[in-house]
Homo-oligomer: A and B are copies of this chain.
């Protein structure tokens, strides 16, 4: 069985960014206050403020508009359940996509090549494939493998 990675931070993310922004505003306030009090050169302060927000923006932009994660890759439990693909079969499918031979898969899983063949035969039936390359292609199309 594969685990479902990445799904954290939805709420926390918003909170964190909100907090960061608020912090920036507060900083701005403070900076403005300091400027008035000490009557420093407004040019320098303006530059510092701009620089600070530029950095903040770069940081935010770096995480906010980070490419929509090419594919969180959840293993597509829906399709998997629908087709009734077992844990072992999925494992074999992954090894298949890695380009391994039956022999290699058998060794990696500590089972007989015959067992691998059985798993493969079941996979072919469930994926409606007739060849290993076919199974890989269909498995990928279904999002079962990356």
Taking beta carbons and an 8 Å cutoff, which residues of A are in contact with B?
A: 24, 28, 31-32, 42-43, 45-47, 49-67, 69-71, 96-101, 129-138
Q: Are B65 and A67 in contact (CB under 8 A)?
A: no
CA distance A42 to B49 in the complex (A): 12
Which listed residue, B46, B56, B69, B138, touches A49 by the CB 8 Å rule? B46
Copies in the complex: 2
CA distance A71 to B70 in the complex (A): 9
Which listed residue, B47, B99, B135, B136, touches A129 by the CB 8 Å rule? B99
Main DSSP-derived SS at the A contact region: helix
Q: Are A24 and B42 in contact (CB under 8 A)?
A: no
| Other contacts beyond A28-B46, A54-B57, A67-B69: 12, CB < 8 A | A31-B46, A45-B46, A50-B52, A51-B53, A53-B57, A58-B61, A62-B66, A66-B67, A98-B133, A99-B131, A99-B135, A101-B131
Most buried by B among A53, A71, A99, A136: A99
* B residues near A129, Cβ cutoff 8 Å: 99
* B residues near A64, Cβ cutoff 8 Å: 58, 61-62
* B residues near A62, Cβ cutoff 8 Å: 61-62, 64-66
CA distance A138 to B96 in the complex (A): 13
CA distance A59 to B96 in the complex (A): 42
CA distance A142 to B133 in the complex (A): 18
With both chains docked as a complex, state the minimum distance between the C-beta of A99 and any C-beta of chain B, in angstroms. 3
